[in-house]
């Protein structure tokens, strides 16, 4: 048993898609979240900068005495997950392996698509992880640089967003039977993405898949939170506007949350 | 990537129920199995003896250069899992936490039954683990000392077995909505147990649940086997008759396996 909170980090609000799934599957765990919206998106930035920023978020979470860190950001996972996991003595999870693993189980034709930020796609990490497990898989990756900024600005269902998603994904339609949403912002656009790709394409939410792994690791390391009556006190932090973050969180988590602005 | 085999140990043939599930979910992993049928069942033995025997099985698996050890035996898990996990520098899984966790998710009325060997029931470990996670759960445990010997003697569907299962489980029927098969031998009696308990009772196969955890930990520790064309060479060892073991394995795994007799 370990009643300390689980720490989540993301370049912005995308990691809330992982938090929502955690609240559903593991409602008794307490959450500390830090989103770096002031510097989002991370996707187009150079790797060294992503590394520095991500370590700042990790260090912030460590001051909050977390028992586990979830890098709820594909870009940061691609660049620096292994390094962080190696250096810390608490479990550190990324979102890429759970997504890759779920896609392999899901695909029937062996044709997997991956959409992500420019950095995630450039790193080619999904192809690398998928083909290491299953060499015969065909993996097609596509950078969607406009998606995360649309989500950060809370345009989840605007006609502009629909147009951008439609135009961006054209080259993938009909090419894959499984599509990895390789950025935690993208599940916020899931209905539009599903509509463009067609109902037969299975969308893999890398963040949701990651929560199943969180559950197993809480068991394995014996650090579940006791389900007593003690009230949970989730805490959310952002490097940008607390109000904007709270607005998106309210819609996405279907609850009011306290958000505090911080400077790193 | 790590192409070494996964090691399984059990007091006898019961762990084959975990192996069957592994072959289904992770067909590209290679298996080394050791069953201590000569000294089965472990359930009625004193804890110190179970501890000694289990360490002998672990040491045997370590000589085979395994990358992970699965204690596919509830009794051994109850007595010595934490100690083995602490001492080895490879991941060590037991079958109890995955089963406890799955039962909590499954139950609607909060009334969970556990059947197991005398030692597993005496240790009260399922109640302990379940109530640590979820204090309000009602847990009823029942020792079934006759079940494992019936399975070891390959009486999976005899009229004696039906009679024994019926008589043993009488006190549980109508009392629980979820029943943990807290001994890896018991899934071999699943149709009979389900028949006695009634179709509305959800049976939790602790071994099958454990395989989901194996998959997550292979990912987390990055020790999956590469899915290349290299042929798998599963190896099974028993301290009793190789022929008896092979007979049960053939029925249960639906394939011919090579079994070698060993003396520990």
Domain coordinates of chain B in residue numbers?
6-94+208-261, 96-206
B73-99 mean pLDDT: 95
* Contact: B216, A216; criterion CB under 8 Å: yes
- Spot the catalytic one: B31, B61, B73, B137: B73
Tell me whether B134 touches chain A (CB under 8 Å): yes
Q: In this structure, are residues B157 and B180 in contact, taking their beta carbons and an 8 Å threshold?
A: no
Tell me whether A102 touches chain B (CB under 8 Å): no
CA B11, chain centre distance (Å) = 9
Does the active-site annotation cover B183? yes
**Which of B259, B251, B237, B232 is closest to B23 using CA atoms?**
B232
* Contact: B133, A227; criterion CB under 8 Å: yes
Q: Which chain B residues have a beta carbon less than 8 Å from that of A213?
A: 216, 219-220
Q: In angstroms, what is the C-alpha Rg of chain B?
A: 17
Per-residue model confidence (pLDDT) at position B233: 93
Which CATH architecture fits A6-94+208-261?
Answer: 3-Layer(aba) Sandwich (3.40)
Alpha carbons B156 and B161: distance in angstroms, whole number:
7
Q: Which chain B residues have a beta carbon less than 8 Å from that of A68?
A: none
Q: In this structure, are residues B189 and B161 in contact, taking their beta carbons and an 8 Å threshold?
A: yes
Q: Which residue in B97, B220, B224 is closest to A219 by CB distance? A: B97
Tell me whether B1 touches chain A (CB under 8 Å): yes
**Which CATH number describes the domain made up of B96-206?**
3.40.50.1860
CB atoms under 10 Å from CB of B260, counted, come to 11
Tell me whether B27 touches chain A (CB under 8 Å): no
- Spot the catalytic one: B183, B193, B197, B259: B183
Tell me whether A193 touches chain B (CB under 8 Å): no
Per-residue model confidence (pLDDT) at position B85: 96
Q: In the A/B pair of chains, how many CB contacts fall below 8 A? A: 53
Q: How far is CA A80 from CA A93, A94, A125, B34, in A?
A: 11, 9, 12, 39
Q: In this structure, are residues A139 and A116 in contact, taking their beta carbons and an 8 Å threshold?
A: no
Q: Most B CBs within 10 Å: which of A219, A222, A223, as the mutation test of the B interface? A: A219
| Max Cα-Cα span within chain B | 51
Per-residue model confidence (pLDDT) at position A132: 86
Nearest chain A residue to B100, by CA: A219
Q: In this structure, are residues A72 and A80 in contact, taking their beta carbons and an 8 Å threshold?
A: no
Per-residue model confidence (pLDDT) at position B229: 64
Q: Which chain A residues have a beta carbon less than 8 Å from that of B133?
A: 224, 226-227
Pairing type for strands A259-261 and A202-205 reads unpaired
Q: What is the pLDDT of residues B215-264, one digit of tens each?
A: 999 999 999 998 776 789 999 999 999 999 999 999 889 999 999 999 99
- C-alpha dihedral, A260 to A34 to A90 to B123, nearest 10°: 70
Tell me whether A3 touches chain B (CB under 8 Å): no
Per-residue model confidence (pLDDT) at position B50: 96
- C-alpha dihedral, A133 to A137 to A138 to A142, nearest 10°: -40
Q: Most A CBs within 10 Å: which of B216, B227, B228, as the mutation test of the A interface? A: B216
- Which of A82-119 are b and which e, b meaning 16 or more Cβ less than 10 Å from the residue's Cβ? eebbeeeebbbbbbbbbbbbbbbeebeeeebbbbbbbb
Q: Most B CBs within 10 Å: which of A3, A95, A101, A227, as the mutation test of the B interface? A: A227
* Contact: B224, A93; criterion CB under 8 Å: no
Residues of chain B above pLDDT 90, percent: 86
Per-residue model confidence (pLDDT) at position A229: 64
Q: In this structure, are residues A252 and A188 in contact, taking their beta carbons and an 8 Å threshold?
A: yes
Phi-psi category of A222—alpha, beta or left, where left has phi over 0 and alpha has psi -120 to 50? left
Per-residue model confidence (pLDDT) at position A230: 76
Per-residue model confidence (pLDDT) at position B230: 76
CB atoms under 10 Å from CB of B138, counted, come to 15
What is the residue-averaged pLDDT of chain B? 94
Q: Which residue in B213, B219, B224 is closest to A98 by CB distance? A: B219
Question: Given this chain, do its domains B6-94+208-261 and B96-206 carry the same CATH topology?
Answer: yes
Q: How far is CA A201 from CA A21, A130, A174, B153, in A?
A: 21, 18, 9, 48
User: Which residue numbers in chain A have pLDDT < 70?
Assistant: 229
Does the active-site annotation cover A73? yes
ipTM > 0.90 for the complex = no
Structure tokens at A11: 């370049």
Cis peptide before A41 (omega within 30 of 0): yes
Confidence label for B25 from pLDDT (cuts 50, 70 and 90): confident
Phi-psi category of A9—alpha, beta or left, where left has phi over 0 and alpha has psi -120 to 50? beta
Nearest chain A residue to B99, by CA: A219
CA B24, chain centre distance (Å) = 16
Structure tokens at A253: 């988590």
Distance (Å) from the C-alpha of residue B113 to the closest C-alpha of chain A? 20
* Contact: B227, A133; criterion CB under 8 Å: yes
Cis peptide before B41 (omega within 30 of 0): yes
* Contact: A216, B212; criterion CB under 8 Å: yes
């Amino acid at each position: 048993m370990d009643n300390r909170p689980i720490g989540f980090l993301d370049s912005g609000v995308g990691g809330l898609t992982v938090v929502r799934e955690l609240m559903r599957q593991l409602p008794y765990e307490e959450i500390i979240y830090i989103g770096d919206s002031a510097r989002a998106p991370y996707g187009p930035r150079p790797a060294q900068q992503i590394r520095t920023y991500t370590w700042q978020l990790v260090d912030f979470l460590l001051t909050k005495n977390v028992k586990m860190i979830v890098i709820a950001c594909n870009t940061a996972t691609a660049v620096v997950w292994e390094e962080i996991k190696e250096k810390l003595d608490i479990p550190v999870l990324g979102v890429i392996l759970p997504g890759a693993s779920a896609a392999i189980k899901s695909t029937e034709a062996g044709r997997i698509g991956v959409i992500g930020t420019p950095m995630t796609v450039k790193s080619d990490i999904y192809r690398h992880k998928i083909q290491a497990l299953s060499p015969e898989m065909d993996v097609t990756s596509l950078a969607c640089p406009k998606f995360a900024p649309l989500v950060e600005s809370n345009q989840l269902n605007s006609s502009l967003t629909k147009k951008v998603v439609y135009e961006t994904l054209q080259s993938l339609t009909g090419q894959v039977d499984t599509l990895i949403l390789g950025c935690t912002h993208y599940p916020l656009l899931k209905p539009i993405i599903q509509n463009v790709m067609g109902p037969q394409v299975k969308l893999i939410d890398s963040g949701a898949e990651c929560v199943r792994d969180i559950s197993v690791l809480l068991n394995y390391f014996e650090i579940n939170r006791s389900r007593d009556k003690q009230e949970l006190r989730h805490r959310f932090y952002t490097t940008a506007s607390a109000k904007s973050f709270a607005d998106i969180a309210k819609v996405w988590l279907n609850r009011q949350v306290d958000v505090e602005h911080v400077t790193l």
